[in-house]
Amino acid sequence: MRHIPAMWILLAVVVAAVDAVANSAPGYPNAQFLVETQELASWLGRRPELRIIDARDPGSYQEGHLPGAVNLPAGTTDDLGANRQGFPLPLTRAQRLLRIAGITASSRLVVYDEQGNLLAARAFYFLEFFGHAHVAVLNGGLKKWKAEGRPVTMDVPHVPDGDFTPVPNPPRVATSDWLLKNLNNPQVAIVDARSPAEYRGERVVGSRGGHVPGAVNIPWNRVLTPGESQTFLPAAALRQVFAEFKITPDRQVVTYCQVGTRAAEIYFALRLLGFKQVRLYDGGWEDWSANPRLPVQL
């Protein structure tokens, strides 16, 4: 019998194991939108183009953040008046925020928070709407990072002003007028990312209770694993969440919540799965419920 070197046997076993993992756990179509903590840790100090964005409020940022991270609070990326005009934020304000954060067109952006990727997803949406090509979310955020014993600092880095020029992408946003025109369009799926109580009108936050007619309710945290360090569901499980409501990549999907933060989590999950036609109704229930000419369903 021909002798086979042990090295080749070992290599065959390794290749088979890798193939088995790859076949049993297929990745997300847009896997580049998600960065694991181990991967980000290996980039620190080695990738000059890396810009880490902390999407939390300034107080939380000052208490401790990832090394090199700059603060771009998710709350500063939203403006109801601009939402009604089809923008997350007025263009001039967006450009100022991006400049202060030191963002350039070549920056590799990784955004994070400690609220189940909620604020990070909002920052992702804001950056994608304004045309940045290299944005990813840190899976599990600061909680997972700290649970693994990775470094945190209170040092605030000095970064030179960025020169990225934001270019709005209108197909990424929906206004109330756009949504009203498409309420009966079978090619448009509407996702309400609020709690079931808000969706049913049992808890009223806004001028009226209820939901946009025809919307299905997928609370924002349904796309996450349970536990302290919440990460996004594996691709197959994530697809199933949307498949339950017949939300498939061939349809255009609009997601909304109260003010555009929880909706961003669903938006990001859809983009991670490769959905191309995804809009965020940024005015959300705050805008819709305040307009008496717009219909409400209970």
Residue 25 lies in a domain: no
Host domain of residue 242: 170-288
Residues 220, 186, single domain; the answer is yes
Q: What is the pLDDT of residue 13?
A: 35
Residues 268, 214, single domain; the answer is yes
Task: Tell me which of 147, 179, 209 is where a domain ends.
Answer: 147
Confidence of residue 229 (pLDDT cuts 50, 70, 90): confident
Q: What is the pLDDT of residue 11?
A: 37
Residues 126, 199, single domain; the answer is no
Task: Tell me which of 147, 178, 193 is where a domain ends.
Answer: 147
Written as one string, the DSSP assignment of 230-260 is --BPPHHHHHHHHHTTT--TTSEEEEE-SSS
- Span 44-60, mean pLDDT? 96
Residues 216, 250, single domain; the answer is yes
Catalytic residue of the set 110, 138, 174, 257: 257
| Torsion from C-alpha of 115, 120, 122, 123, nearest 10 degrees | 150
**Token code pair at residue 268:** 């990001």
Q: What is the pLDDT of residue 227?
A: 86
Residue 164 lies in a domain: no
Residues 111, 175, single domain; the answer is no
For the chain, what is the mean pLDDT? 92
Is residue 272 part of the annotated active site? The answer reads no
Residues 176, 143, single domain; the answer is no
Residues 202, 270, single domain; the answer is yes
Answer whether residue 21 shows pLDDT above 80.
Answer: no
Q: What are phi and psi of 79, to 5 degrees?
A: -150, 120
Residue 201 lies in a domain: yes
Residue 88 lies in a domain: yes
Q: What is the pLDDT of residue 274?
A: 98
**Token code pair at residue 177:** 């007028």
Answer whether residue 22 shows pLDDT above 70.
Answer: no
Answer whether residue 289 shows pLDDT above 90.
Answer: yes
Residue 155 lies in a domain: no
Q: What is the pLDDT of residue 228?
A: 87
Residues 107, 48, single domain; the answer is yes
Q: Report the relative pairing of strands 50-54 and 252-256 from DSSP bridges.
A: unpaired
* Minimum mean pLDDT range among 4-13, 109-118, 213-222: 4-13
Share of the chain above pLDDT 70, in %: 91
For residue 293, give the 3-state DSSP assignment: coil
Residues 82, 124, single domain; the answer is yes
Supply the CATH number for residue 112's domain.
3.40.250.10
Q: What's the domain count of the chain?
A: 2
Confidence of residue 264 (pLDDT cuts 50, 70, 90): very high
pLDDT digits over 162-205, tens only? 999 999 999 999 999 999 999 999 999 999 999 999 999 999 99
Residue 68 lies in a domain: yes
| Torsion from C-alpha of 65, 101, 52, 225, nearest 10 degrees | 80
Residue 296, Ramachandran bin (φ over 0: left; ψ between -120 and 50: alpha; else beta)? beta
Residues 181, 104, single domain; the answer is no
pLDDT digits over 62-119, tens only? 999 999 999 999 999 999 999 999 999 999 999 999 999 999 999 999 999 999 999 9
Residues 141, 60, single domain; the answer is yes
Answer whether residue 209 shows pLDDT above 70.
Answer: yes
Residue 211 lies in a domain: yes
- Angle, helices 118-129/262-272, rounded to nearest 10 degrees: 70
Residue 175 lies in a domain: yes
Residues 141, 181, single domain; the answer is no
- Span 49-74, mean pLDDT? 98
